[in-house]
Amino acid sequence: MLTLQVNGAAHQVDVPDDMPLLWVLRDVLGLPGTKFGCGIGECGACTVHVDGRAVRACSLPVVLVGDRPVTTIEGLADDQVATEVSKAWLEIDVVQCGYCQPGQIMAAVALLKSNLHPSDDEVDQAMAGNICRCGTYRRIRAAIRNVAG
C-alpha cells in the first residue's frame, strides 16, 4: 500500500510498485485528464507535475513518486497561473483535436511557474517534448507569450 499526495489530498493505493503513475491516476484514482499517447516518455501527453516539475507519468513507476506532491490537470482548477494560461489558450484558439492539450498546458504552467518571462528559446526548449499531431505549436507559443507578457 502506497500513499500518494495528488491534487492536495492523500490517497492510499494498493498497486504494484512498478505501475506507471499514469495508470494509477487514470484507472485507480479516476483522473482521466492525463492522457496516454506513446507510453514511452516521448510525446508528453501524460505530463503531470511532481513537486512542481513537469514529468512524464507514463514512464514514472509509482513507487518513485514517494511523498512528493502530484498535480494533474484536474488539480489546476484554482491555480492562478493555470487560469491565465487557459485564458490565453482560448484567446489564441489553440486547440484543434485537443488530445495533447492537457499535457501541453501542464508543461506551459510548469514553465511559467519557474520562469514568468521566458525567452522564445526557453519556451521552445520547455515545450519541445510535447508533441501535437495537429501542429498547434505556433499557437501554443503565442499563448505562452501572451501570459509571459
DSSP assignment of 23-86 equals HIIIIIS--TTSPPSSSSSSS-TTEEEETTEEEEGGGSBGGGTTT--EE-GGGGTT-HHHHHHH
Q: Which of 38, 81, 134, 142 binds ligand FES (CB under 6 A)?
A: 38
Q: Which stretch binds ligand FES (CB under 6 A): 23-31, 32-40, 71-79, 80-88?
A: 32-40
27 binds ligand FES (CB under 6 A): no
- Binding segment for ligand FES among 11-19, 35-43, 120-128, 138-146 (CB under 6 A)? 35-43
Per CB under 6 A, the list member of 5, 39, 96, 113 interacting with ligand FES is 39
Q: Burial, 57: exposed, middle or buried (Cβ in 10 Å; 0-12, 13-18, 19+)?
A: buried
- Interior/surface letters 125-147, b for 16+ CB within 10 angstroms, e for the rest: ebbeebbbeeebbebbbbbbeeb
Q: Which of 24, 48, 49, 56 binds ligand FES (CB under 6 A)?
A: 56
At closest approach, how far in Å is the CB of 14 from ligand FES? Answer: 23
43 binds ligand FES (CB under 6 A): yes
Choose the binding region for ligand FES from 7-15, 34-42, 83-91, 115-123 (rule: CB under 6 A). 34-42
Centre a 10 Å sphere on the Cβ of residue 17 and count the other Cβ atoms it contains.
9
- Which lies closer to ligand FES via its Cβ, residue 70 or residue 88? 70
